[in-house]
Structure 1
Amino acid sequence: MAAANRHPAFMPLILVGGLIFGFGLAYSHMARPEVVLDFLQFEDFGLVFVMFGGAAVTGLTYLVAPRLFDRAPLTGDSFERRLKSFDRNVLVGGAIFGAGWGLSGICPGAAYASLGVGNVTILWALAGMFVGAYLQGYWRSRDSARDAAVAGTRGDD
């Protein structure tokens, strides 16, 4: 559905949801890289409970919402499962995400929350995320242009 057809409260609710998410990360200390690194080094398992809590709420919502509503209340989109095929991009992207998470001790969502609680050095990790996202977009558009050129030359035969 086009953005123009969305409910007027859609964007403000996205902002409020993001603020609540960031507050939850800060309150649970998951916006502190040292806590995440302790988890990755098997010294503190608090992150398991935070992730389980988030997965439980999400799972319950995905189970209950389609039964209560025929369409998403704010977007009007139908509730349906979107499957992403497991391909090279998913594998490489997951590996890069995991390596970045392990090296910096923070994932993208928590990085913004970490900045919000005064961790200014997290700007280095955020800069790395932006550079990585830009490079991925550049390579993807370059590959798409190359694939289109190859498909165009095949059509001339």
Structure 2
Amino acid sequence: MKYIKYILTGMLLGIVLVKSEAISWYRIFEMFRFESFHMYGIIGSAVLTGILLIQLSKKYGVKTYNGAPITIKPKERSKYRYLIGGSIFGLGWALTGACPGPIFTLIGTGLFSMIIVLISAVVGTFVYGLLKNKLPH
């Protein structure tokens, strides 16, 4: 019962993703062909919301539920890191029609071929974990 809030939050996210058409392969295809602003609007509003919430949490000293301060460590800047990682992520997104977040929502809507994508994502994450120390960061 203590996990019910997470289940309900996930269900709400799934409903929002379906109703906003953010999981639609056709909307994603339009985005990659620069034919529609729909997905850019969704992604842009999510980025702006994230920026706003991070700035507000810094300003008001928001703490975790345990009372610890929230800290965000600065990341090392490397244009190649983001170029290569973003290209791999974008290629996977374009080929499958889904970024990692909505995979479960797509399976929940009955698109069972996404189970292959889910398995591939898990295997890819496992392989990255094995190779992480050997990769340039």
Question: TM-score w.r.t. structure 1 length?
Answer: 0.70
Tell me how far 1:18 sits from its aligned partner.
3.2
What do residues 93-112 of structure 1 show as CA deviations (whole Å, max 9, x unaligned)?
Answer: 33221110111121000222
> What is the one-letter code of the residue matched to 2:98?
I
What do residues 52-102 of structure 1 show as CA deviations (whole Å, max 9, x unaligned)?
Answer: 221222122112223334423x24331322222135655443322111011
> What is the one-letter code of the residue matched to 2:75?
K
Q: How far apart are the structure 2 equivalents of 1:12 and 1:77?
A: 24
Asked if residue 33 in structure 1 is aligned to residue 25 in structure 2, the reply is yes
Aligned counterpart for 1:98 among listed residues 84, 90, 110:
90
Contact residue 32 and residue 94 of structure 2 kept, 8 A: yes
Q: How far apart are the structure 1 equivalents of 2:66 and 2:25?
A: 35
Provide the residue aligned with 1:133 in structure 2. 125
RMSD, aligned α-carbons: 2.5
Asked if residue 86 in structure 1 is aligned to residue 77 in structure 2, the reply is yes
Question: Which residues in structure 2 correspond to 1:113-124 (within 5 Å)?
Answer: 113-124=105-116
Tell me how far 1:129 sits from its aligned partner.
1.0
Identity %: 22
> What is the one-letter code of the residue matched to 2:106?
S
Unaligned stretches of 5+ residues in structure 2: none
Question: TM-score w.r.t. structure 2 length?
Answer: 0.78
Question: Which residues in structure 2 correspond to 1:44-59 (within 5 Å)?
Answer: 44-59=36-51
Change (3 A) 1:77 1:12: farther
Compare 124-133 and 14-23 and name the one that shifted more.
14-23
Contact residue 31 and residue 39 of structure 2 kept, 8 A: yes
Q: How far apart are the structure 1 equivalents of 2:74 and 2:105?
A: 29
- Which structure carries more relative contact order (alpha carbon 8 Å, separation 6+)? 1
